[in-house]
Amino acid sequence: MTGRAVFLDRDGVVNRAIVRRGRPYAPRRLEDLEILPGVHDSIAALKQRGYLIFIVTNQPEVSRGSIPRHSVEDMHGQLQRELPVDGILACFHDDDDDCDCRKPRAGLLLQAARDFSLDLSCSFMVGDRWRDIEAGKRAGCATLFVDHAYAEEPPAGYDHRVGSLAEACALILAQRDPT
């Protein structure tokens, strides 16, 4: 049987983004990493329903030299210790690197689909920025936009708009299981 997954953006969906002048940024240090309320319970409920859970994140600050890679990996280790996720897939490139793994491209989702025999048409992408939603659409997933009213252009289109991962989880769990 082919598996189903829920892909979660990291900053702004799983953990609190650092918002400056209305724009979200990744935490720079492990001590700044704060898992958002309801995230653990939401992920646990999705896992109980049989979904694999992956955090998919762009971390271009590594390529830019503003955050050491080990700091990001320390944060990912902490997330994996605290949350029942099946994996964290990260792109450390910047736009100029023109890689397939940086969202809005779907490379991270497609790699997970290959590695875990996922049916992306029965999977979901939950994100708070246009790049997340576009990656989900390109991969063939249903998309849920977590709207934090950032001072930037929202995604051009998505399947559902929600205010948190808990709201996204409720919508996903309300979907009929494929037979």
Q: Which CATH superfamily is domain 4-174 in?
A: HAD superfamily/HAD-like (3.40.50.1000)
Residues annotated as catalytic are 9, 11
Strand spans (E) along the chain: 4-8, 18-20, 23-25, 51-58, 87-91, 124-127, 142-146, 160-162
What residue spans define the domains of the chain?
A: 4-174
User: Would the pLDDT of 2 be above 90?
Assistant: no
Q: Supply the pTM of this predicted model.
A: 0.96
pLDDT tens-digit map of 20-68: 999 999 999 999 999 999 999 999 999 999 999 999 999 999 999 999 9
